Amino acid sequence: MLFDQISANKRRTIVLLLAFFSLLALVGYGVGYLWLQSGPTGTILALVVGLVYALAMIFQSTNVVMSMNNAREVTADQAPELYHIVEDMALVAKVPVPRVFIIEDDALNAFATGSKPENAAVAATTGLLRVMNREELEAVMGHEISHIRNYDIRISTIAVALSSAITMLASMSQRMMWYGGGRSRRRDDRDGGDGVQVMILVLSLLAVVLAPLAATLVQLAISRQREYLADASSVELTRNPEGMIRALQKLEQSKPMSQPVDDASAALYINDPMKKGSLQKLFYTHPPIADRIARLRQM
């Protein structure tokens, strides 16, 4: 089952790229039509931006994501317990030992990133290190190492890159809208009375406004099941289901991250870093912790 999941994750990488680049093309067309007087020109520019973002993440994903989340790298001398637990979990999982980072935050959280096991990294908050005992910390690091072994990190990292590109293009277009850009083009369309032009205008506006939501939904669609699998894989590595259950119970009681976490990075964390309200729960990228605990108790 595990190797089937790894193969499926590699296939999903291709599907994910196609989905996100399709969204990029749509947003680019909208931006080009509204502000550059040419939809195809906007599409080309958007695809170039997306390609640059994707390549940057593939080759520099660890440094980029860690910088986005204000994480600092530590050595075995600086954080001996965390470092040695990561080493132990990597040894059991038979993957290269990832780089280890710490985030200065009282919230309980952790994540893994990287385009492949050879350049992966894990990060934990200072709050997690302070509250979790050794068994619980092993469970959390086992969860993150499982993401590395299962190639979840490749999917998540590419999703972060392309979602960020889509959000950046959409935000730029919306700012131009507020400052009055593109008005002459819209007036020309109305004066011409061309119904097709008006329809393209409306669709372009919808693409710009709704694309970030669509990107979030794509991330949501791929992230929930991988959390269940990583929980189970962590138990496989530690042989200690109660350690994972207790860790999840503490994560459920954690407060939100105090530092800002962008939507693109939020899906990487083991625990929702923003602790959204009831309406926003519709867009959770993480399954409810109660459900994750229930699945572990059934094992």
> What pLDDT, on a 0 to 100 scale, did the predictor assign at position 183?
44
**What integer is the mean pLDDT of 281-285?**
56
Question: Could you identify the residue written with the tokens 């994972």?
Answer: 244
What is 31-91 written as a DSSP string?
A: HHHHHSS-HHHHHHHHHHHHHHHHHHHHHHHHHHHHHHTTEEE--TTTSHHHHHHHHHHHH
Tell me the range of 176-190, 219-233, 251-265 where mean pLDDT is highest: 251-265
Q: Kindly report the pTM of this predicted structure.
A: 0.73
Ramachandran region, residue 107 (left: φ > 0; alpha: ψ -120 to 50; beta: rest): beta
Domain that holds residue 258: 2-298
> What pLDDT, on a 0 to 100 scale, did the predictor assign at position 189?
47
227 annotated as a binding-site residue: yes
Q: Let me know if 87 is a catalytic residue.
A: no
Question: What is the count of structural domains for the chain?
Answer: 1
User: Distance between CA 52 and CA 36 in Å, rounded?
Assistant: 21
What strands lie across the sheet with 121-125, from one edge to the other? Answer: 71-73, 99-103, 121-125, 110-113
138 annotated as a binding-site residue: no
pLDDT tens figures, 230-273: 998 999 999 999 999 999 999 999 999 998 887 667 878 998 88
- With 70 as the cut, is the pLDDT of residue 93 above it? yes
pLDDT tens figures, 52-92: 877 776 677 788 889 989 999 999 999 999 999 999 999 99
Instruction: List the single range of 8-22, 58-72, 133-147 with lowest mean pLDDT.
Output: 8-22
Tokens of 177: 């809208």
- Please provide residue 123's backbone torsions phi and psi, each rounded to the nearest 5 degrees: -135, 145
Residues in the chain: 299
252 annotated as a binding-site residue: no
**What integer is the mean pLDDT of 173-196?**
55
Which value, in Å, is the radius of gyration of the alpha carbons in the chain?
21
3-class DSSP state of 217: helix
Nearest Cα neighbor of 146 from 9, 286, 289, 290 is: 9
Catalytic annotation, pick one of 144, 236, 242, 252: 144
- With 50 as the cut, is the pLDDT of residue 175 above it? yes
57 vs 188, residue with greater confidence? 57
> What pLDDT, on a 0 to 100 scale, did the predictor assign at position 287?
82
**What integer is the mean pLDDT of 140-145?**
97
**What integer is the mean pLDDT of 152-170?**
75
- With 90 as the cut, is the pLDDT of residue 108 above it? yes
